[in-house]
């Protein structure tokens, strides 16, 4: 197996930066973009059997649009938002000055190298090291944006995150209709209405098999569609 079985020490490395370290400009840019995204996507936010909380969480969601991470991030209340980092692909988000600035400074995204995965530096390890004992993550277990808008199969990263940090709540998130607002391959948005649903937190059951867990997590996201 690729991953070590023993749990990762929690505060082995401090978070890359203290939370209030972002400059006022980045903060303002983040707030503006979040407001703009909310306005453009007409998003209504539902918390179903779940409340916003500053405790450590992995938010896992379906992925259909570039706006997904931004929209989840912006629908969290301010204190929670400050602690939550979206996970994004390094090959896309480190290209160009603007993209890198947005990803690193404004959204404080955690950039994961999809192309160059090393055994001793797996994405899961990087994520766990970066969040320390305070930060939360937004992840998209499908790996990339779905073309049709249907929910694809989940990759195993979520399972390893849950296994190595069994204390962190896994919150399913479903994003509805955003694929029509900004579909894959389009850069101009159509301002329809969308809906973001946060579902009841779940955990990895003791001894639960990987396939079963991933199926259960996928079903949890799917269930929020109704």
Partner 1 sequence: MNDIRTIALIAGVLLLLLVATAVGQFLARNPDRGLNPAAVNAFNLRLRGWWIICTVLAAAFWLGTTTTVVLCGLVSFWALREFITLTPTRKGDHRALFWVFFLFTPLHYVLVAYNRYDLFSVFLPLYGTLFVLARVAMAGDYKRFLERTAKIQAGLVVCVYCLSFAAALLHVRIRGQDPANSGANFRLLFFLILLVQFADCMQYVWSRMAGRRPVAPEVSSTRTWEGLLGSATSTALLAAVLWWAAPPFEPWQAALVGFVVAVMGFAGGMTMSAIKRDRGVKDYGTLVVGHGGVLDRVDSMCFAAPVFYHLTWFVAGQ
Q: Does 52 bind partner 1 (CB under 8 A)?
A: no
Q: Does 91 bind partner 1 (CB under 8 A)?
A: no
- Pick from 183, 200, 202, 223: which binds partner 1 (CB under 8 A)? 183
- Pick from 33, 126, 195, 223: which binds partner 1 (CB under 8 A)? 195
Binding part of the chain for partner 1, among 19-27, 86-94, 117-125, 183-191 by CB under 8 A, reads 183-191
Binding part of the chain for partner 1, among 5-13, 30-38, 42-50, 78-86 by CB under 8 A, reads 42-50
Q: Does 42 bind partner 1 (CB under 8 A)?
A: yes
Q: Does 36 bind partner 1 (CB under 8 A)?
A: no
Distance CA 78, CA 31 (A): 9
Distance CA 92, CA 90 (A): 5
Q: Does 192 bind partner 1 (CB under 8 A)?
A: yes
Distance CA 63, CA 145 (A): 5
Neighbouring residues of 31: CB distance < 8 A, sequence distance ≥ 6: none
Q: Which of 66, 59, 60 is nearest to 181 (CA)?
A: 66
Q: Does 191 bind partner 1 (CB under 8 A)?
A: yes
Using the Cα atoms of residue 216, residue 211, residue 110 and residue 39 in order, give the sign of their dihedral.
negative
One symbol per residue from 92 to 131: x for binding partner 1 (CB under 8 A), - otherwise; what is it?
----------------------------------------
Q: Which of 36, 87, 38, 33 is nearest to 59 (CA)?
A: 87
């Amino acid at each position: 197996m690729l991953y070590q079985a023993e749990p990762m020490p929690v505060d082995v490395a401090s978070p890359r930066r203290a939370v209030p370290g972002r400059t006022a400009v980045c903060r303002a840019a983040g707030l503006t973009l979040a407001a703009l995204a909310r306005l453009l996507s007409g998003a209504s936010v539902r918390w179903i059997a779940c409340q916003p909380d500053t405790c450590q969480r992995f938010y896992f969601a379906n992925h259909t649009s570039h706006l997904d991470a931004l929209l989840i991030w912006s629908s969290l209340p301010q204190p929670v938002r400050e602690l939550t980092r979206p996970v994004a692909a390094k090959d896309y988000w480190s290209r160009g000055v603007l993209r890198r600035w947005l990803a690193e400074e404004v959204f404080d995204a955690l950039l994961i190298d999809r192309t160059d995965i090393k055994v001793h530096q797996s994405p899961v390890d990087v994520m766990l090291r970066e969040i320390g004992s305070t930060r939360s993550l937004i992840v998209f277990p499908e790996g990339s944006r779905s073309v049709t808008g249907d929910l694809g199969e989940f990759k195993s990263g979520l399972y390893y995150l849950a296994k190595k940090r069994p204390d962190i709540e896994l919150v399913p998130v479903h994003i509805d209709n955003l694929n029509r607002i900004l579909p894959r391959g389009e850069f101009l948005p159509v301002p329809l209405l969308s809906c973001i649903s946060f579902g009841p937190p779940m955990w990895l059951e003791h001894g639960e098999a990987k396939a079963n867990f991933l199926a259960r997590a996928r079903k949890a996201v799917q269930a929020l569609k109704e």
